[in-house]
Amino acid sequence: MSKQYFGTDGIRGKVGEHPITAEFMLHLGWAAGRIFSKENRGSIVIGKDTRVSGYMFESALQAGLVSAGVDVLLLGPMPTPAIAHLTRTFNASAGIVISASHNPYYDNGIKFFSGAGEKLGDGAEYAIEAELQQSITMVPSDQIGRVARVDDAAGRYIEFCKSSVPPEFNLVGMKIVLDCAHGATYHVAPGVFRELGADVVEIGTEPDGFNINEGVGSTSPSLLQVAVKRERAHLGIAFDGDGDRVIMVDETGSVVDGDELLYIIASCRSAEGQLVGGVVGTEMSNFGLEIALAKEQIQFTRVAVGDRHILLRLQSNNWVLGGENSGHILCLDVASTGDGIVAALQVLLALRQGQMGLLKARSGMSKYPQHMVNVECTEGADFNTPAVSAAISRVEESLGGNGRVLLRASGTEPVVRVMVEGHEIGIVRQLAEDLADIVKREVDK
């Protein structure tokens, strides 16, 4: 059964277009309150990123929640992983995040965390959607929920981030450029790294409600690259708008993506005898990561794109480390969800333990060139035809075992993503273009 509102990562869309409206958020708050209050009368925490629309949706959600008899704790602008942490800290029934992550300011969305600080399972999402089919019925006046603002939320989260590394760990003598994407980490990330002793240079820490992710952050690292070289910094760190992703820039100004950061953490932990099990990546993880981990005899497995799939596989394997090339990295031994600041600290811990810079640390992994082509198609178009299968076999034969082919339908656009990776970018590009032509012919039939 498909969901009407929940996608791969909550509910997301353009502000003012259903369901990203104040009216819907009121109904959603009521529906969520009804579901979560059945199990536990505990409060629900609400946090948001820095989009101007967040204030409107925060008000609508809390009105719906209290009308269902649920108490609400308002965290204000906070990173998504901070909301997960504070949901657990306050023993809340659930946490709500108002954010569209790395999207522009005119988009927004809602994500939920369970009382354990983890993304909701399908069952809870189906239950909320079923409740949304009902009309709002308010509890009696003596049962209306109460609302309180948590004034020390930022301080609590800063202390949590610092506790994710050993007490003796420090960043004294290290100059770091931080890019907070004018997003939810703007007021907490600088505090974390300064309190650990780093000399911090800030960019992307002046949100105005409209500039979130605009030319800054993990999806636009060019300003960070320039700043690292200009400031002669040891490295740069960039977060996305809601703080659950991180990428870095090494001392030469080169970008270090999520696959490379995941390799650095895994490699260090393995060398120290501290790696629990193996590593979980996704279908989009670079083949070079798989090869580099294999050389160090570290198990690696792939799942479908999305942190929820990574989390489920980590839990089923009793492993703790996984992530995506976008910089969404899970370290389940120190955080319950992907956390950009915590992941960055784990990389810095690896650098300190290995007594090396970021450039040297990443040198153990060689990324394979990738080329992706998006083939437009109608929703539900069948691209798994004999002709496509035969073409894939020919491409794999051409790669000779030193590369990969991936075809997948996008979860957000009416396209089929055709990706090829291998040693030579010229060959990879041509193979991907040829395969995409065959896929297009088949989906057009």
Q: Which residue has the tokens 């948001």?
A: 48
The total number of residues written for the chain in this structure: 445
Ramachandran angles phi, psi of 21, nearest 5°: -130, 160
CB-count exposure of residue 162 (10 Å: 0-12, 13-18, 19+): middle
143 DSSP 8-state letter: G
Please, which residues have CB within 8 angstroms of residue 280's CB and are 6 or more apart in sequence? 300, 301, 302, 303, 310, 313, 314, 317, 319, 321, 322, 323
Q: What are the DSSP calls for 356-385, one per residue?
A: --HHHHHTT--PPPEEEEEEE--TT-----
User: What number of helices (H) and strands (E) belong to the chain?
Assistant: 14, 18
Instruction: Exactly one of 53, 99, 101, 336 is catalytic; name it.
Output: 101
Q: 361, 351 in Cβ contact below 8 A?
A: yes
Q: 74, 265 in Cβ contact below 8 A?
A: no
Nearest CA among 210, 161, 202, 185 for reference residue 80: 185
Question: And the tokens for 377?
Answer: 């198609």
Q: Is the dihedral of CA 248, 286, 281, 326 positive or negative?
A: positive
Name the packing angle between helices 386-399 and 425-443 (round to 10°): 170
Beta bridge partners of 111: 97
In whole angstroms, what is the distance from residue 100 CA to residue 107 CA? 6
Q: How many CB atoms lie within 10 A of CB 2?
A: 4
Q: Position 255: which residue type? A: V
101 catalytically annotated: yes
Name the packing angle between helices 258-271 and 340-354 (round to 10°): 50
Looking at 272-339, list the stretches that DSSP marks H as alpha helix, in order from N- to C-terminal side: 287-295, 307-317
In whole angstroms, what is the distance from residue 427 CA to residue 42 CA? 58
Beta bridge partners of 249: 236, 255
Residues recognised as catalytic? 101
